[in-house]
Amino acid sequence: MITIASTGSFSRAADELQIAQPTLSKYIQKLEKNIGIELFDRSTIPIRLTTAGELYVTAGKKMIDDDRQLQKQLREVKYKQNLEIKVGISPSRAPYLMPSLLSQYQATENSGKVIIQEATVAELKERLVTGDLDLIISLTDEGTASFESVDLFDETILLAVPQVLDYHSIPEEMLLTLPHISIGRGQHMWNVMETVLHTVGGKEPVIECQSIESAMALVKQGIGAMLVPSYIRDYGLDEQNKKVRFYQLPLDQYPLLKSATKRKVSLFYRKEQFLTQAEKSFIECAKEVAKGSK
């Protein structure tokens, strides 16, 4: 049911489940006959769940998750050791936050495996809901209101300037005069850059990259300056931020920029989730690392 609903097709679902399509179709028909109501609207392409089908899938997902949570508890009781943790985080934050966090976690008595899964903010939330991830580190927004949250830090926007182009000017002058490197269109940092440069009258970017890591490599080479989230300065290793200086934006002169350049980053897990000792320990380590930022 769940696979058919997600693929919108009996044939694609059968391929994914590695069973014959007629077998899958007969199973659903028998199920519908037994409960006396149609679960799929077959008149549309792709096929869609009926109201009854949506109720059935919702209940099915809950049963799967309840079983997953029970298995976690039983394994922890049986083996009396820490189990693996699946942690989700965005690709841009992972290189800066995870080294310190994992070092702190490994310094505890935890012996379990940590699996780091990188995904977009939207994908992280979706995978936490389905139970595919145990914990996620992400932005606090309306979409995270249904989760339990542990606030980690406030993320602001800084100007990253190559040391070779740092003439000890004030940040506003550098925003106006230095060549800029940007992150790809559609990403949050692109929107922030557009807002900031439009507000202060800065130059259009001369280079566009698809990742913060690639853009920062260009900054280190002295090619240009860029706007970056503050976690790069606060949690980046010395080697990562070598040859780069960071400056606060002139927010007092441009108060309208304050709301556009500040966000909260938190750790999330589901409210109904059973937390293993390993997960609890990881959460405590995340809080300690956040507290001890530069």
Q: Is 82's pLDDT higher than 70?
A: no
Task: Give residue 199's pLDDT.
Answer: 85
Q: What are phi and psi of 150, to 5 degrees?
A: -125, 110
Q: Regarding predicted confidence, which is higher, 22 or 76?
A: 22
* Total-model pTM: 0.73
pLDDT, one tens digit per residue, over 100-151 is: 999 999 888 666 789 999 999 999 999 999 889 999 999 999 889 999 999 9
Domain ranges of the chain: 2-74, 81-153+264-291, 154-262
Sign of CA dihedral 195, 198, 202, 207: positive
**CATH fold group of domain 2-74:** Arc Repressor Mutant, subunit A (1.10.10)
Same CATH fold, 81-153+264-291 and 2-74?
A: no
Tokens standing for 217?
A: 């490599």
**CATH fold group of domain 81-153+264-291:** D-Maltodextrin-Binding Protein; domain 2 (3.40.190)
Task: Give residue 293's pLDDT.
Answer: 67
pLDDT, one tens digit per residue, over 169-183 is: 677 777 778 889 998
Task: Give residue 107's pLDDT.
Answer: 87
pLDDT, one tens digit per residue, over 25-49 is: 888 888 888 888 888 888 888 888 9
Domain 154-262 in this protein, CATH class: alpha beta
Mean pLDDT across the chain, nearest whole number? 87
Task: Give residue 174's pLDDT.
Answer: 79
CA atoms within 13 A on the CB side of 188: 16
Task: Give residue 66's pLDDT.
Answer: 79
| Distance (Å, whole) CA 258 – CA 266 | 20
pLDDT, one tens digit per residue, over 255-285 is: 778 887 889 999 999 988 888 888 999 999 9
| Distance (Å, whole) CA 23 – CA 20 | 5
